[in-house]
Chain A
Amino acid sequence: MRKTHQRGTEKTLHKGPSLWYALPALLLFGLFAAIPLVGVVILSLTNWDGLGAVTWNGIGNWIRMLHDPLVLNGLKLTVILTVVSWLVQTPICILLGVFMAGKQRYRAFLSVFYFIPLLFSSTAVAIAFKNLLDPQFGLGKALGWKWLAHNWLGDPNTALWTLIVVVSWCFIPLHSLLYQGAVRQIPQSLYEAAMLDGAGTVRQFFSITLPQIKYTFATDSTLMIVGSLTYFDLVYVMTAGGPGNATRILPLDMYLKGFKSYDMGGASVVGVVILVMGIAISLLLNKLSGSDKMESQMEGV
C-alpha cells in the first residue's frame, strides 16, 4: 500500500506540474524584477540627475564609484553588519526555536511575547528606539542610569553596534519561528530511540536536533544574510547614515546618492554591486549546505 503510494508521488514529482503554472509568477517577476534590473544596469552606464536628459558615460561611473571612499566605507559596514548580525542572531534563534517547539503551556505563552517585535512596523520600531536611547529625553535620563544615558546613536563608536542590537531584536522572532517549525518536524521516534540509548538532552540537541535542522539553517542563513545586505529602513530612520558616515551602509549610500545627490548613475552602480553580492552569497550558501541536491532528511525513518 505504502509502496505504491510512494511510487505514484515519485512519478508525478518527476514529471512535475505543467510549466504554464509558472507563467503568472514569471511575468510578474519579469515586469517588476527583471526589467528594472536590466534598467539599473543600463542606468549605471549613464549620467542622469533625475530631471534632465540621460547621457552615456560608459564605465565612468563604475571607476568613480569603486574609488569613492563612501562606497568602500559602505561596503565595509555592510559586511560587518551582515556577519555580526548573523553571528548574534543564529545561536539565539536556534535556541529560542528549540525552546518554543516544546509543547508545554508556558512555552506557548512565552512564544507569544517573543513574537511581538515581528508585529511592529520597522519605522515605528526605529522611532521608538531612537527616542528611548536619546541621552537627553530617553530612558537613561528618565531612570537616572548613567550608563544607559550614553549617546548610543550619536557616538561613532557605538552607533553601528546599537543598530545591530535593534535589528536583531526585530528579526529574531521571525527566524526563531522558522527554527521552531523545523524542530517540530523532527520525528519523535528519533528522540525516543536516543533516549533508549541513554542520550541526555544536550547530546540529543547536538546529535539529533542540529543535524536535522540543517536545511532550515541554510535557508534561514540565506534569508538573514541577504536581508542584512539590503537592510535600509531601520538605519535610515534611526541615524540616516550618521554620525559622520559611521552607519552609512551600502543600501543607504545608494539611496542617498540616488535621491539626495540625484546621481542616478552612481547609485545604480552601488545597486548592481549589492545585487551581485546578494546573488553570489545565496548561490554559495546553497552549494555549501548541499540543499541544492534536495535529498531527503527522512531517510530510514
Chain B
Amino acid sequence: MKQSGKLIAAIASTAMLLGASACGSQPGNSSGSKAEGANLTTWAITDAPWHPMKDAFKEWNKDHKDAQISEESFANDAYKEKIRTAVGSGNAPTFFPSWGGSPLTDYAKSKAITDLTPELKTDIQSKVLDSVSAEAFRDGKLYAVPTGPVQPVLIFYNKKVLKEAGIDSAPQTWDELVADVSALKAAGKTPISLAGGSKWPYLMWAAYLVDRIGGPEVFNNVLKGKKDAWSDPAVTKAMGMIQELVKAGAFGDSYQSLTADDRKDTALITTGQAGFELMGSWVYTDLISISKDFTAKDLGYVPFPTVKDGRGDPNDLTGNLSNYWQLSSKASKEQKKTFVDFVKAKNYSDTMVDAMLKQGQIPPVKNIDSKVKATDDGSGYYLWLYQAAKKAPNYQLSWDVALPSEQSQAILNNLEQVFLNTMSPDQFVSAMNKTIK
C-alpha cells in the first residue's frame, strides 16, 4: 500500500513537470497570436527600415477586425537563424520575410511556401522594378512578394575628411581610390572603414571587384555550379587587389574586430575618423537619424570605382535587392485571401512609399521619379539611387544570400583569411573550387 502510494506520487509529480514543460514547447504559436480563421501571424526585423511595413499592418488591422495581422520582431541575425528552424519544423508564422536568394529556392523546393502566381503575378510585375521582382520567381512561378526598400551597396564618404587630406573629388577609378588611400593615411585617418568582425562586409569588396574586372558571368558560373568556376582570372586578380589594399593600410589596423551590427563602422565616418566606407544603402536611415545636417552637407556617395581594362559595366550594382514576404504552405484558403488582399491594398501603397522615402530608403516601385526627387534632401542621393537601381544592367544579389548556405559560409570564412593575409589568392581559388560539387 505504502509502496503504491509512492508510485502514484512519483507519477503525479512527473506528469506535472511534463505538463509544465509542454506549455513552453510551441515556439511557433508564441506571443498569444491568433493564427486561425482569416487571421495571420508574421515575423519581422527590428531595424528602422522595417517600420513602414509594420505601419502597413497597423493600418490594415484598423479596417479588418476579422482578418488581423499580428507581428513579432527579431534582431536581424537572430531572425535569420530562427526562421530556418521554424520553417523546417513546421512552426513558421503564416508569412515571413527573406532576402531572396538560396533560402527562397530552398523554401520553394521543399514546398514550404505557397505559389502565388495566379493571384499576384501581374500586380507585382506592373508595380515593382524588374530587377527586384525577377528575384521573387523560381522556375517561372511567383513564390514571394517584394516589400521594403531597394538596397544596393555603394561608397559613402565624409567630404570634410577628404578635403582635409587634400582630395577634391571622389574616386572614379580603382587607381584613384588607391591614391586617395595613401593621402588619407598620410593625413592620419583610417582611409576606409571596414566591419571585418561581421565578415559579410568583406563580400561587398569581392563581389564588386569580380564584377568590375570580369563582368557578371564570372559569378553566374559559380551560381550555376560550373566546375572550377572560381578559377576565372578575374577572381585571382580581385583577391590580389584586395590584399594590396590591405597591405597599403587602407582599412587601418582594427578592421578585423570592427562590427557592423553596433554601427561602429558607420560611426567612424560620422565622427570623422575614417574617409570611405563601402556599405549598403540601408545605413542611410541611421545616418539621417544621427544628423540630417551631416547627410545633407558632409556625406558624399559614389558608385564603386571602375577597374582599368575591366569587362564589367560601371553601372552594375551588387547588394541586397529588397526584402520578400513568403506565404507558408500551411496557410488556409482564408488566410491566403487575407494575405493577397493585404498585399494588393497596402504593399507599396502611397503611404508606405512616403514613409520609406522619409527614412531615406528608396522603394523599388516603378514610375515614382517625381516623388523621389521631391523628397531629396539636396544632395541628389535619392534620385541617383533610384535611377541607379532602375538602370543597372546587372544587379547582383549579395553573394552570401545568393549562394547555398554551405558555400556562402565557406566564402565568408575563406575571404576573411584573404583579408587577414593568411590565405593567398591561389589558395582561395582552390578552397572555393572544392565547395562546388
Q: Which residues of A are in contact with B by a Cβ distance under 8 Å?
A: 18, 20-21, 23-24, 27-28, 31, 49-52, 70, 130-131, 134-137, 151-156, 239-240, 242-245, 256, 259-263
The verdict on B110 contacting chain A, using a C-beta distance below 8 Å, is yes
Contact A50 B88, CB 8 Å, known A23-B10, A23-B14, A243-B420: yes
Contact A21 B409 (CB under 8 A): no
B383-407 vs A: 1/0 string, CB under 8 Å?
0000000000000000000000110
Interface of B: prevailing SS: helix
A18, A135, A262: the one within 8 Å of B6 (CB): A18
Determine if B264 and A154 form an interchain contact, defined as CB atoms under 8 angstroms apart: no
**Contact status B254-A154, CB under 8 Å:** yes
- Residue B167 at the A interface, CB < 8 A? no
Given contacts A51-B106, A136-B268, contact A151 B257 (CB under 8 A): yes
Q: Which of B64-72, B79-87, B157-165, B356-364 is the interface stretch?
A: B79-87
CA distance A222 to B413 in the complex (A): 33
Tell me whether B110 and A52 are in contact (CB under 8 A).
yes
- In the complex, 17 of the A-B residue pairs with CB atoms within 8 angstroms, ordered by the A residue number, are A23-B10, A31-B21, A49-B405, A51-B87, A51-B88, A70-B413, A134-B257, A136-B268, A151-B257, A154-B258, A156-B256, A156-B422, A240-B197, A243-B197, A259-B81, A260-B81, A261-B409
CB distance from B107 to the nearest CB of A (A): 7
Residue of A27, A31, A239, A261 near B257 (CB, 8 A) is A239
With both beta carbons as reference points, the residue of chain A lying nearest to B252 in the complex is identified as A136
Nearest 9 CB-CB pairs, A to B? A154-B257, A154-B256, A243-B256, A261-B409, A135-B254, A153-B257, A244-B420, A151-B254, A23-B10
Asked if A51 and B107 sit within 8 Å, CB to CB, the answer is yes
B308 at interface by CB-CB < 8 Å: no
Cβ-based interface call for B168 (8 A) = no
Instruction: A152 to B13: give the CA distance in the assembly, Å.
Output: 51
Cβ–Cβ contact B406 & A136, under 8 A: no
Residue B182 at the chain A interface, CB threshold 8 Å: no
Q: Which of B18, B112, B405 has the most CB of A within 10 A?
A: B405
Q: Mark B76-109, 1 if CB is under 8 A from A, else 0.
A: 0000010011011000000000000000001101
Contact with A along B4-43 (1 / 0, CB 8 A): 0011001101100110010000000000000000000000
Cross-interface CB contact of A136 among B196, B273, B416, cutoff 8 Å? B273
**For residue B112, which residues in chain A have a CB less than 8 angstroms away from its CB?**
51
The yes or no answer to B120 lying at the interface (CB within 8 A) is no
Q: Is the CB of B406 within 8 A of A262?
A: yes
Closest to B12 in A: A24
> How many of B's residues come within 8 Å of A, CB to CB?
44
Judge whether B256 and A151 touch: CB under 8 Å: yes
> B246 at the A/B interface (Cβ < 8 Å)?
no
Q: State the main secondary structure of chain A at its contact with B.
A: loop
The verdict on B255 contacting chain A, using a C-beta distance below 8 Å, is yes
Q: Which residues of B contact A27 (CB under 8 A)?
A: 14, 17-18
Q: How far is the CA of A194 from the CA of B280 in the complex (A)?
A: 72
Asked if residues B110 and A262 are in contact (CB atoms below 8 Å), the reply is no
CB-CB < 8 A to A18: which residues of B?
3, 6
Whole-angstrom distance between the alpha carbons of A259 and B79 in the complex? 12
CB of B44, distance to nearest CB on chain A (Å) = 20
Contact B197 A137 (CB under 8 A): no
Contact at B254–A136, with CB atoms within 8 Å? yes
A50: chain B residues within 8 A (beta carbon): 84-85, 88
Interface string of B253-265 (1 = CB under 8 A from A): 1111111001010
Q: How far is the CA of A131 from the CA of B11 in the complex (A)?
A: 50
A239 contacts which chain B residues (CB < 8 A)?
197, 257
Q: How far is the CA of A136 from the CA of B269 in the complex (A)?
A: 12
Residue of A23, A27, A239, A260 ringed by the most chain B CB atoms within 10 A: A260
Task: Tell me if A156 and B257 are in contact (CB < 8 A).
Answer: no
Q: Is residue B199 contacting chain A, with contact meaning CB distance below 8 A? A: yes
Contact B109 A261 (CB under 8 A): no
Contacts of A242 in B (CB 8 A): 196-197, 199, 256-257, 416
B267 contacts the other chain (Cβ, under 8 Å)?
yes
Using CB atoms, name the residue of chain B closest to A52. B110
User: A152-B257, A245-B417 given. 16 additional CB < 8 A pairs?
Assistant: A18-B3, A20-B6, A24-B10, A31-B21, A51-B112, A134-B257, A135-B254, A154-B255, A156-B420, A156-B422, A242-B416, A243-B196, A243-B256, A244-B420, A260-B81, A262-B406
A53 nearest in chain B by CB position:
B110
Considering the chains assembled together, what is the distance between the CA atoms of A134 and B11 in angstroms?
A: 54
**Least CB distance, B91 to chain A, in whole angstroms:** 13
Selected from B262, B406, B420, B422, the residue in CB contact (under 8 A) with A261 is B406
When the two chains form their complex, are residues A21 and B10 in contact, meaning their CB atoms are under 8 A apart? Answer: yes
Cβ contacts under 8 Å, A153 to chain B: 197, 257
The smallest C-beta distance from A280 to any residue of chain B, in angstroms, reads: 29
Are B254 and A51 neighbours in the complex by a CB distance under 8 Å?
no
B266 to chain A, nearest CB (A): 12
- In the complex, A228 Cα to B256 Cα: how many Å? 25
Instruction: Note all chain B residues with C-beta closer than 8 A to A24.
Output: 10, 13-14, 17
Determine the chain A residues whose CB is within 8 A of the CB of B109 once the complex forms: 52
With CB as the reference atom, state the residue of chain B lying closest to A21: B10
Complex: A134 Cα to B419 Cα, angstroms: 19
Q: How far is the CB of A29 from chain B (nearest CB, A)?
A: 11
Inter-chain CA distance A53–B416, complex, in Å, is 32
Q: Nearest B residue to A153 by beta-carbon distance? A: B257
Bound CA span A154–B84, Å: 30
Interface-centre pick from B14, B88, B254, B406 (highest chain A CB count, 10 A)? B254
Are B405 and A136 in contact, CB atoms less than 8 angstroms apart?
A: no
Residue of B nearest to A259 (CB): B81
- Residues of A near B196 (CB, < 8 A) are 154, 242-243
Interface mask (B238-256 → A, CB under 8 Å = 1, otherwise 0)? 0000000000000001111
Which residues of A sit under 8 angstroms from B257, Cβ to Cβ?
134-135, 151-154, 239, 242-243
Contact in complex: A262, B197 (CB < 8 Å)? no
If A31-B18, A52-B109 touch, does A155 touch B197 (CB 8 Å cutoff)?
Answer: no
Residue contact B256 to A155, C-beta cutoff 8 Å: yes
CB distance from B432 to the nearest CB of A (A): 14
Report whether A244 and B422 are in contact in the complex, using a CB–CB cutoff of 8 Å: yes
Q: Report chain A residues within 8 Å CB of B259.
A: 130
Q: Which of B257, B264, B409 has the most CB of A within 10 A?
A: B257
